Structure 1
Amino acid sequence: MSGSLVTILCTVITALVSVSAIFISNLVGQRIYMKQISITNNQERYKKLYLPLIHLLYNYLPGKLSYGLFQSTRQNIAFLTRDKKLQNRDPLVSLIMENSEFATPDLLTKCIAYSRVANNNLIFNELIGDSVENKPDKLGNREKLINELAEKSPNTRRIFNELIQQILLESRALAKTTGVIDLTEPLLEALDVD
């Protein structure tokens, strides 16, 4: 009897150890798989939304990162290239909205707020379009007028800065989690928060 009790006990313990090993192995495998999916999703978000936004900011802003300079540069490029689409659509808003599935709710909220400001700027540009001669050497006046608009509406500069900060901070966090080089430091330093 005691021999059969030991045999039964050994069988039960062996079965428990086997089931526990399978459960733990499955749990560990599932966590590794979920982590890989998370890294892959973050890499895709970084590559499809944040990297193009950073590229856009570097292309548009050689110096200080400010609302007036961004809008002025956009308008100058639109004029020089005769790109009506660029003239009538803000590239930041377009890029975020075209890739909205990769954006966080905070980024989308700030983008919508900025979109309203950008639309007001488009109306303003149409109003001043006739007062600024359409010659490359006169286009610097546009930046001055855009900055005057931004000063009259203090929220304009703040909303632009909040959007840019959100983009750069989220990009920095994604760069850290995906192991890519953080490209945001020069842009954060150039952001005109005055």
Structure 2
Amino acid sequence: MNFDTFAKWSAASSPYLAVLSVFISNWLGRRAARAKVANEQKMIRYKSFYIPLIKQLYNTKPGMRNYYDLRSSINPQTKQNCFVAFENIFFEHMEFQGEHLPLKIVELEVTAENAYNDLQLALNSKFSNAPSIEEAIEAVEKVNRIFDEIIIEALQESESLARTLSIEPISRPLLKSYLYEIHRRPKLREQLAKERPDYQLQKPIPKT
């Protein structure tokens, strides 16, 4: 292609190139705007649900980070059991949670209080129709496991969001600590035996 031909081609194609340039510029602008909005939404999620949960976990003694101990302890400031603080965070910010957390939180809510009350009834009631202590212990252990699943998943989601937002993943050491606590946490039966030396817990029936 000689210079004259190139000049004619350039002159003829200039309007199309100008339109294409505007189109590309607008497309890149919209893409950047969408990315900015997406990051802003992630930051809102991070600050609204994950940060309050992380703060609450850091403010809770490591040995008490389980449903049974939280439910059995009273906050001297609020005069409520310590699980209420977590319950409020779970339900007040449900729209900012990951895909699977809300269902687990609902499962926790519908089973936790009944399981705890049945255990207290089994431990303290002399009625013959009181719940079996073995079944009550297992029910509370199941609630503990659901609570653990919620916390672990939430901390993992928090770390993922932090990486996406290029901020310090402050949940990472907390997750490591929490997993270690689960490994060292005594079985509820053993814990109750220490807390209630006056109560002779039934020995589990050996499986045949």
Tell me, yes or no, whether TM beats 0.5.
yes
Deviation of 1:159 (Å): 0.8
Q: Write the letter of the residue equivalent to 1:189.
A: K
> Alignment partner of 2:169: what SS?
coil
Kindly report which structure 2 residues correspond to 1:115-154, keeping only aligned pairs within 5 A, or say none. Answer: 115-121=109-115, 123-124=117-118, 127=121, 149-154=136-141
Find out whether 1:97 has 2:91 as its counterpart: yes
Deviation at 1:149, TM superposition (A): 5.0
TM-score for both structures, normalised by structure 2: 0.67
State the shift of 1:161 in Å: 1.2
1:107–1:166 contact (8 Å) kept in structure 2: yes
Which amino acid letter does the alignment assign opposite residue 85 of structure 2? Answer: P
> Scaled by the length of structure 1, what TM-score is found?
0.71
Distance apart, 1:35 and its partner CA: 0.9
Counterpart of 2:170 in 1: which secondary structure?
Answer: coil
Contact 1:45 1:102 in 2 (8 A): yes
For 2:28, the aligned partner's letter is V
Change (3 A) 1:65 1:35: same
Alignment partner of 1:179: what SS? coil
Give secondary structure in 2 for the equivalent of 1:109.
helix
What is the CA RMSD across the aligned residues, in angstroms?
A: 3.1
Counterpart position of 1:58: 58
Structure with higher helix content: 1
1:111 to partner: Cα distance = 1.0
Q: Which runs of 5+ in 2 are unaligned?
A: 126-134, 184-208
State the shift of 1:117 in Å: 3.2
Alpha carbons of structure 1 residues 98 and 128: separation in structure 2 relative to 1, 3 Å: farther
- Residue 57 of structure 1: CA displacement? 1.0
1:43 equivalent in structure 2 = 43
Structure 1: any 5+ residue segments left out of the alignment? 132-147
1:172 aligns with 2:159: yes
The residue type equivalent to 1:175 in the other structure is A
State whether structure 2 residue 105 is matched by structure 1 residue 111. yes
Rounded to whole Å, the distance in 1 between the matches of 2:27 and 2:37 is 15
Q: Deviations over 1:58-95 (max 9, x none)?
A: 112334743333333xx232xx3362xx3397322321
Structure 2 Cα separation of the partners of residues 125 and 149 of structure 1 = 5
Alignment: residue pair count? 168
Which amino acid is 2:162 matched to?
A: A
